[in-house]
Copies of this chain bind each other. A is one copy, B any other.
């Protein structure tokens, strides 16, 4: 999926929000916004939004001398989701289809913007998760493909929601490799998040080799690329992974909450199906062919 003109105001908004996380110094905010404006002039519209975003966040890190502005928010969201885990697991185990229930919670976990997290909203979202059917729902195809799959790749998105991803992995009953990011980027999960959320005790955890808020294949590590090509089933969480992989030929299932009009329009364009902003989606990849 390519970057559009609609992404430009959003890049600028992200830059300002991130600048404010790094420091309270107004001079730094001004310098970051000045350089963010310059960045807008260099955006490559043949790349996906997450691929363009890398340079933006690198610039912010360099100016602010803050390598990981989201680190405290990430820790807080991990702690918070871990606190909810027993209650969510109980709801999953009590449901008629535990795997489906786990996927619903995992998609609902993706709805939350941990940057502006209110405990109340999160708990409400969790309470409603089982009632919220995905507006695009390829779960029947997913279970059919899963039955044949030996090697499952699970591409993580944000910190916090990892806890719900771990409950999905428990229900998959497969050999799963869980993929995080190599370097800090926004609130994307890193190895330390996977560790503190207990993922390493139930599956293999690797990084994709990048500090991109998505999965830009050509920039990923050789190890990741090998596993990606060998996978029988790939679960891709969140918008960033979708934006970078939506047109890739692979056995992909995209699980995400639709958060912006550009992604909404792209889903409609490639799938012919409509998913309004705020809704969850379990979408089979368009170039998905069972081996």
Contact = CB atoms under 8 A, between A and B. Distances in A.
Interface residues of A, number: 15
Contacts of A59: none
Contacts of A30: 5
A6 B15 CA distance: 10
Interface in A11-45: 12-13, 16, 29-30, 33-34, 37, 40-41
Contact of A16 (B5, B29, B34): B5
A161 B179 CA distance: 54
A6 B12 CA distance: 9
Contacts of A37: 8, 37, 40-41
B13 A33 contact: no
Contacts of A33: 5, 8
A interface majority secondary structure: helix
Contacts of A12: 8-9, 12, 40
B5 A9 contact: no
Contacts of A5: 16, 29-30, 33
Contacts of A41: 34, 37
12 contacts: A5-B16, A5-B29, A6-B16, A8-B33, A9-B9, A9-B10, A9-B16, A12-B12, A12-B40, A34-B41, A37-B40, A40-B40
Given A5-B30, A8-B37, A37-B41, 16 more contacts: A5-B16, A5-B29, A5-B33, A6-B16, A8-B12, A8-B16, A8-B33, A9-B9, A9-B10, A9-B13, A9-B16, A12-B12, A12-B40, A34-B41, A37-B37, A37-B40
